[in-house]
Amino acid sequence: MTLLVTGIGELVTNDPDAGAGLLGLVPDAAVLIDGDRVAWVGPAASAPAGDERLDAGGAAVIPGFVDSHAHLVFAGDRSAEFEARMTGEPYTGGGIRTTVAATRAATDAELRANARRLLREARRQGTTTMEIKSGYGLTVADELRCLRIARELTDETTFLGAHVIPADFQDRPDDYVELVSGSMLAAVTPYAKWVDVFCERGAFDGDQARAILTAGAKAGLGLRVHASQLAAGPGVRLAVELGAASADHCTHLTGADVDALAGGDTVATLLPGAEFSTRSPYPDARRLLDAGVTVALASDCNPGSSYTSSMSFALALAVREMRMTPAEALWAATAGGARALRRDDVGVLRPGARADLVVLDAPSYLHLAYRPGVTLTTTVLHNGVPS
């Protein structure tokens, strides 16, 4: 069964061979979908026939958003902490333990229902690939059930047992590092594609992060690092040195960090929803882009520091507050996210790619940042199926 999406006023392909500029823009375009894959992309006037037709009515079409950083498996809500922050208290990361307690107390069914709700919410807003982390269980059994639930929802599952040191290990953190890189890692490996560490003062230092990431790599997992969100630290350089797919946050960078990112193949994933929700300075995206670093944007959806699943919100912040151009921001939220997950079948519309695309209620992708706070998705196709 083939589907011809036609009447596309402006098509973003992210394929520089297919169209103009960074976004590979094609005006008056069509996309032929065969099953779950893109079969053909080009001008509508020369489009092949399809068994069915979807007329975009002159609207813009973009690849589905690739959200490469999200924490969806949790219970509870931290709106009171948000309120306190907005009335002057600083963000310290300590509230993570509140969510850990609620998550441990929740049933599998409650955790599953909440994660599904958030995934549906993201899908409605155009996200067709979503990475999901554990990290609110922090026992072998709780990390395992969180990753099992995550694996029901996505292939991009990340083991974040090293989110914070749980309260009962507070005075013996190295024992916890040993647990995470030993029996906890062994238990969750069948359900995880990636391993991640919150490398930050108050969480895990450079040596602890290195031990966990090295153990994860040995177990066959890809690497990701929460790095330099609250202060400059060793996380970014460690990520590059170990060949991590992504260093996430990158809010407080040294010159050496930027040089390392520019010289390696680790993506810098920026999460402006976190700076928005913690009222913190935004990362310097221009400095990274000007140094030639590959930049991704992601939601960081989590109940404490960024409770939004909206990629278009991240994109609008990146344009307004971080001086990314609208084209750079959309690329980062689609193709950039795919790079951060080491994927070449999503975040792009070309023959062979997954048929993940979004018809916007707008004539141009520019409206994503130009009309902040407005959900502009009319149709979201995921694997060729409307959702």
Binding site for Zn ion (CB under 5 A): 300
Q: Which of 141, 168, 173, 146 is nearest to 157 (CA)?
A: 146
Whichever of 128 and 158 has its CB closer to Zn ion, that residue is 158
Whichever of 142 and 300 has its CB closer to Zn ion, that residue is 300
In the complex, least distance from residue 314 CB atom to Zn ion, rounded to whole angstroms: 13
Whichever of 10 and 131 has its CB closer to Zn ion, that residue is 131
Whichever of 156 and 300 has its CB closer to Zn ion, that residue is 300
Q: For residues 309 and 10, give the distance between their C-alpha atoms in angstroms, rounded to a whole number.
A: 25
In the complex, least distance from residue 274 CB atom to Zn ion, rounded to whole angstroms: 7
In the complex, least distance from residue 54 CB atom to Zn ion, rounded to whole angstroms: 35
Whichever of 82 and 365 has its CB closer to Zn ion, that residue is 82
In the complex, least distance from residue 300 CB atom to Zn ion, rounded to whole angstroms: 5
Q: For residues 147 and 332, give the distance between their C-alpha atoms in angstroms, rounded to a whole number.
A: 26
Whichever of 132 and 369 has its CB closer to Zn ion, that residue is 132
* Residue 239, C-beta contacts closer than 8 angstroms, at least 6 positions apart: 223, 224, 225, 227, 246, 247, 266
In the complex, least distance from residue 143 CB atom to Zn ion, rounded to whole angstroms: 15
Whichever of 275 and 300 has its CB closer to Zn ion, that residue is 300
In the complex, least distance from residue 6 CB atom to Zn ion, rounded to whole angstroms: 39
Nearest-CB residue for Zn ion? 300
In the complex, least distance from residue 294 CB atom to Zn ion, rounded to whole angstroms: 19
